[in-house]
Structure 1
Amino acid sequence: METDGPDVVFSAKELELRLLGPMKLMRRGVAVPLPPSRKVRALLAYLALTPGSVPRERLCHLLWQVPSDPRGELRWSLSKIRLLMDTDGRKRVITANDRISLDLEDCDIDARHIQEARRRGIGNLDLEALRPIAGRCGGDLLEGVEIDNSPAFEHWLTSVRSEFRLYALEIAAEIGKKTPVGGEDGLPAARQWLDLAPLDADANLRFLAELSRRRMGDACNRHLDAAARLFADEGEDFAPIREAWERLRPLSRQPAVVVVSDGVGRPSEPIHVTVARRASIAVMPFRELVAGGAGRNDLGSAVAHDVISKLARLRSLFVIARGSVFAIAGEGLELPEIGRRLGVDYVATGFLEQHELGIAVNVEVAEAATAHIVWTERFEARAAEHFAVVDEISNSIVSSIAAEIENEERNRAILKPPDSLDAWEAYHRGLWHMFRFTAEENERAAEFFRLSTRLDPTFSRAHAGLSFTHWQRAFQRWGDRDGETRDALKAAGQSLLVDDQNPAAHWSMGRALWLTGDHDQAVRALEHSVLLSPNFALGHYALSFVHAQSGDPAAAITASDYSRLLSPYDPLLFGMLGTRAIALIRLDAFEEAADWAIKAAARPNAHVHILAIAAHCLALAGRLSEARSYAARIRLQKPDYRTDNFLDAFHFTPDVIARYRQVAALIGLAT
């Protein structure tokens, strides 16, 4: 695309809509003045970025909660958009069945280009493809389109802005990694990455490498000092970066690309917060065993690298970066010495064996100080391609390590006096109580989560945990549903505010939005949680939960299966199994649904709604004797429980509600 003056842009597309930075619209290369109304611009952007059609009611709720005639306001705004978008008799605003959509064929929309690149995988693109995409990241999404007193729109805008900030950061990081050190574009690429991620260890090391390659020693020293002050101001430890630089500096003058870890957009070195600590782990390269002893470590190092990257993206542990770990891997150190050198609580080690059909990896996690083994497991994967094997194996290892350390930290916290807990320990004490799934334990969990947030207001997962306790009170009717829903949203919002890159923050927001009945926004938040960390099992489970009731039942089954693959012993396993059952009901697979519902009801801590899923699924499968036995178990727990209570808890579609009501009388749960 070429320009000729500020208002004329030549493009192959009939319409161009720029949503990153100040909003702009061009028709055949000529700028079109936008209406002064921010709500018109907001509506246009929302429709342009939301796939499919949108119900009028949702658009009214999004932007016009105050006016007495929100539909009239919507009609007026749509008339303004028609004037902007319609060309040569082509109507681009489509209204049908009380739903609105935009015909965007032959439209160039910058944000959609970036979404498509992200879908294809930023890491799969070369520099030639990445640079024009980076050129479209021209600022924050919809600069100047903030709207007061429209909380639903504010939440949507905050959410999508965080998505595009993440995309811009991933693109800048990938360009920084792939641009050769010392080349003409090396320093600008490194600076762009650092500008977007000033606390990222890899970004700092890459920038230092560019300066050193140009023999700018004074600039290196100035950057080290300035970065150290910035890290100190943010309560983070800069020493590992300084140490890593001392090791890498002799290599930085060589004409090669600096090898950095894959924790795109996040600090890959441990960040020791001054108020709250977080359990830390070093994942050592896995030794490869071959006939006659140890062989090359290429594949073992690749698996360890993938585990490090994916663990870091979960943001539940401090994960030592690959550079620091690999630098001492060949020294033959004992676990306590590794712990002292790297300052970690846990060390993961293991060995790898290759065979014709795949690989097997034996992994141990031990306490660094005592060398006490916390957990050990053997993982096997069969695949034709090494990349596929590495991905499959590392996914299993990551989920298991995270779950086992979380369990260890919960058990440790429960043994300490409450008044001696720090923020990290209070959070894990809260998890211990939360996973009991009773009203009383839920209250105890909320108390510990509040304690954790008081001790460290920046601890995002503690706010997310608090949001979950409010969600439980609303879902189980242990409190006023409307009030608890508001509190769940508030705590989730605080979790996002302090760390919008934490998958747990978006998970808590997605669940809270589900309580409000906003299915689409709930799905969007939950999809963002697994976008940030594909190994976040609870994000996949929550997606299954929402889709199973009123979304895509096939997607619900896929998400349920993946959540269980990632976390086969999860405290919420009864929910993962139960959502699969209710998704199968929507696919008329009654017998299969009944079998999965029985598995859900057999899990420890399965609450009364899980028993109700089993009772109704069995009844629909014609297994009335078994269904009545579950109904009897329900009445023992809650004598007044009826099918209405079950239906009121969930957001089922009308056809499914009719099915459940049909069988309620047969099992004694009718009103």
Structure 2
Amino acid sequence: MEASVVAAVESAVESGGMAIHVRMLGSMAVSRAGAALALPPSRKLRALIAYLALAPHAVNRAHLCELLWDIPNDPRGELRWCLSKARALLDEPGRRRIETAQDTVRLDLADCRVDVLEIGQAMQQGIDKAGLERLRELAALFVGDFLDGLEIGRSPFFNSWLTAQRRRLRACHAAVLEHLAAGLPAGSEERFACLDKWLQLAPFDRHVHERLLDSLGMRGRWREGEEHLAAAVRAFEAEGLDWRPLRDAWRDVRARRASPAQSLESAGPAQAPAATADVPERTGRASIAVMPFADRSTQAGVRGGLADGLAFDVIARLAKLRSLFVIAQGTVFALDQRSVGPEEAGRTLNVDYVVSGSLRRQGQRVAVEVQLVESRTARIVWADVFDHKLDDAFQALDEISDRIVASIEIEIEAAERNRAILTPPNSLDAWQAHHRGLWHMYRFNRTDNEQARHFFEMAVRLDPTFSRAYAGLSFTHWQTAFQRWGEQAPAIDMAFETAGQGLIADDRDPAAHWAMGRALWLRGSQEQSLTELRSAVDLSPNFALGHYTLGFVNCQSGDAEAAIGSSDHSRHLSPFDPLLFGMLAVRALALMRLGRIDEAAGWAVKAAARPNAHVHILAIAACCLALAGKQDEALGFLPLIRKAAPSYRVDDLLMAFRLTPDTQAVFREGARRIGIG
């Protein structure tokens, strides 16, 4: 859709139409049908247009006044003046681009070509998928710094936003150059020019140094390579960075390129490889850096407040997950104190993901904006805003931290699953095999469950200390037992055995305790099961699956009220979880036990509507609806149940769960009313 909009705009420009082109890289410029328009001299007008163009939603007028005017005589009046000038510049007959509604302002440039928006769209579509010519086109858009020369005196909020946007776009530029360099012939002058620009943008990104050394070796320019290595080592040492990978890379280049038969001159005609031919594949578990959050409520440079506390908390909680390599807080805070932005820090630290954000207090509320970015593609993986009452600052930070960490875990897991599914099975490492297993595991059917087991077994074979892979393997055996996809007793034993292996591998991994808690429930040891599950959430309070499974156990024969609380908390932490259908069903079962039949039916229907909801979830919804007197809606689930399991009866449901005798009797009555009794 976005690409077609860009193509339509370009076509309109070529045909002499009235399409508008807004350039923000370099000095701001606006043209219509190829003819430059005269911009009013007001710097705040240009700043306003840029800010509105990049805002994802309509912006409150009060916020715009605070952003651009430092205690003016009439901020609203000055804003109205700027908006009138912007309308004269951008609006056309029959096409209003400046939209105002109530107290908000929005700029709609969907039918215009805007260099910064075009770059953002390309990043989100996947710069690693772009062809060579497209990469050249994107690189050509970077003619200068974002809004070059547009700093505004006594407007700290705008200048802070401007700095953040410049850092983000420099990261986008570096990502474009990295992938462009990968697609150019190794010894070509175009590649050297590309690497030089990349080096200027990211002087401490070891990948660009390694690529440059390789190209110099390809051309036989050994003396230049030695000189570049020596200069790079001095620069890295001065910044306290590890330069040894550069030395090792140069030794490898010399070993590979030393033979004349391998030099560029003796080789045949150079052929440009695919755009990402020599972008190195990552191996091992994903790494992440959490940069200090900017506090928009305090004077610049003042540290130690809520924003720093939030960053410390997120780093500590991510480390407790045991599934990611997390950069220590001392390192990221040291980089931040040297004014290294999140994007540059990601490349300097050579991590896969970077978390950054800002905090702002307004009265008795605090709003936290967070972004998770993939370092080498500059793609925004996830972004959100968390708004919370500030009655108790520590409680507010605690809840926000939980939600941030749970969201990061889910989003990275999804990104890694998508990456792993595209990797050939015979070249998977343990981390990739684990995520390939997760991709199949979350399909919740017998065939995919077997595939998941295969990949988890591969993961633990490649790395016998990988506790998360043992937890996944245990879950596949649990599914076989719970769904009765095979002999139950051996599956229960295997679920318990592999969970135990996970605990031996890492008894601080919450997922290992989660797997053991589920296995113990299968064995009928409810109290031991609850103990293990509580250990999981004690180790990592934001571990959504731990809270969900506590609810799962309690909703059947334990504390029904506690089950509702666990279900709600797990959904609060992970609102788009692959097991969301189970979280909703836990609430339905707990409400059923409490005699709140109508509510139970509503939640059960929500559970059944989720993707991959299995046949037991459909049966719970049908029985709850029948008991609530909604016979027609209940009967509507029968075709779905028959399709999933033609001979399904209520006994299949009751054998899967550990329900109390009185709850079993209630379900039998519901099943009798719809003919599966």
Quote how far apart the aligned CAs of 1:636 are. 2.2
Cα deviations across residues 124-163 of structure 1 (Å, max 9, x unaligned)?
xxxxxxxxxxxxxxxxxxxxxxxxxxxxxxxxxxxxxxxx
Judge which range, 602-611 or 370-379, deviates more. Answer: 370-379
Q: Indicate yes or no: 2:357 matched with 1:355.
A: no
Match of residue 635, structure 1, among 642, 657, 661? 642
Partner SS for 1:578: helix
- What residue is the counterpart of 2:559 in the other structure? 552
Partner SS for 1:329: helix
Return the letter of the residue paired with 2:664: I
Q: Indicate yes or no: 2:409 matched with 1:402.
A: yes
Quote how far apart the aligned CAs of 1:453 are. 0.3
| TM-score normalised over the length of structure 2 | 0.57
- What residue is the counterpart of 1:501 in the other structure? 508
Quote how far apart the aligned CAs of 1:319 are. 1.2
Q: Which runs of structure 2 are paired with 1:230-309 in the superposition (5 Å)?
A: 277-290=284-297, 298-309=305-316
- Mapped to 1, the partners of 2:534 and 2:394 lie a distance apart of 24
Q: Indicate yes or no: 2:579 matched with 1:572.
A: yes
- Mapped to 1, the partners of 2:653 and 2:379 lie a distance apart of 46
Quote how far apart the aligned CAs of 1:335 are. 4.4
Match of residue 479, structure 1, among 486, 491, 494? 486
Return the letter of the residue paired with 1:660: F
Return the letter of the residue paired with 2:418: N
- What residue is the counterpart of 1:517 in the other structure? 524
- What residue is the counterpart of 1:416 in the other structure? 423
- What residue is the counterpart of 2:324 in the other structure? 317
Contact 1:286/1:351, CA 8 A, preserved across alignment: yes
Contact 1:288/1:297, CA 8 A, preserved across alignment: no
Quote how far apart the aligned CAs of 1:372 are. 2.1
- Mapped to 2, the partners of 1:521 and 1:385 lie a distance apart of 35
Partner SS for 1:457: coil
Contact 1:336/1:369, CA 8 A, preserved across alignment: no
Return the letter of the residue paired with 1:285: P
Quote how far apart the aligned CAs of 1:445 are. 0.5
- What residue is the counterpart of 1:381 in the other structure? 388
Q: Indicate yes or no: 2:664 matched with 1:648.
A: no
- What residue is the counterpart of 2:673 in the other structure? 666
- What residue is the counterpart of 2:18 in the other structure? none
- What residue is the counterpart of 1:598 in the other structure? 605
- What residue is the counterpart of 1:488 in the other structure? 495
Return the letter of the residue paired with 1:432: W
- What residue is the counterpart of 1:585 in the other structure? 592
Partner SS for 1:378: strand
Partner SS for 2:637: helix
- Mark the CA change 1:301 to 1:334 in structure 2 (over 3 Å): closer, same or farther: closer
Percent of aligned positions that are identical: 56
Return the letter of the residue paired with 1:412: R
- Mapped to 2, the partners of 1:410 and 1:632 lie a distance apart of 33
- What residue is the counterpart of 2:399 in the other structure? 392
Return the letter of the residue paired with 1:626: E
Contact 1:287/1:294, CA 8 A, preserved across alignment: no
Return the letter of the residue paired with 2:292: P
- Mapped to 1, the partners of 2:582 and 2:327 lie a distance apart of 33
Q: Indicate yes or no: 2:451 matched with 1:444.
A: yes
Quote how far apart the aligned CAs of 1:293 are. 7.4
Match of residue 624, structure 1, among 621, 631, 656? 631
Contact 1:289/1:295, CA 8 A, preserved across alignment: no
Partner SS for 1:491: helix
Quote how far apart the aligned CAs of 1:276 are. 7.2
Return the letter of the residue paired with 2:422: L
Partner SS for 2:296: strand
Contact 2:291/2:342, CA 8 A, preserved across alignment: no
Q: Indicate yes or no: 2:447 matched with 1:427.
A: no
Quote how far apart the aligned CAs of 1:386 are. 1.4
- Mapped to 1, the partners of 2:291 and 2:344 lie a distance apart of 13
- Mapped to 2, the partners of 1:523 and 1:495 lie a distance apart of 18
Extract unaligned runs of 5+ from structure 2.
1-236, 242-281
- Mapped to 1, the partners of 2:330 and 2:365 lie a distance apart of 27
Supply the RMSD in Å over aligned alpha carbons.
Answer: 2.2
Contact 2:474/2:499, CA 8 A, preserved across alignment: yes
Quote how far apart the aligned CAs of 1:615 are. 0.8
Q: Which runs of structure 2 are paired with 1:31-430 in the superposition (5 Å)?
A: 277-290=284-297, 298-335=305-342, 337-430=344-437
Extract unaligned runs of 5+ from structure 1.
1-239, 245-274
Contact 1:399/1:566, CA 8 A, preserved across alignment: yes
Contact 1:336/1:370, CA 8 A, preserved across alignment: no
- Mark the CA change 1:454 to 1:365 in structure 2 (over 3 Å): closer, same or farther: same
- Mapped to 2, the partners of 1:471 and 1:363 lie a distance apart of 36
- Mark the CA change 1:301 to 1:293 in structure 2 (over 3 Å): closer, same or farther: closer
The list of structure 1 runs, each at least 4 consecutive aligned residues, that deviate by more than 4 angstroms after superposition, is 291-297
The aligned length equals 402
Cα deviations across residues 195-223 of structure 1 (Å, max 9, x unaligned)?
xxxxxxxxxxxxxxxxxxxxxxxxxxxxx
Return the letter of the residue paired with 1:383: L
Judge which range, 574-583 or 632-641, deviates more. Answer: 632-641
- Mapped to 1, the partners of 2:397 and 2:343 lie a distance apart of 28
Contact 1:288/1:294, CA 8 A, preserved across alignment: no
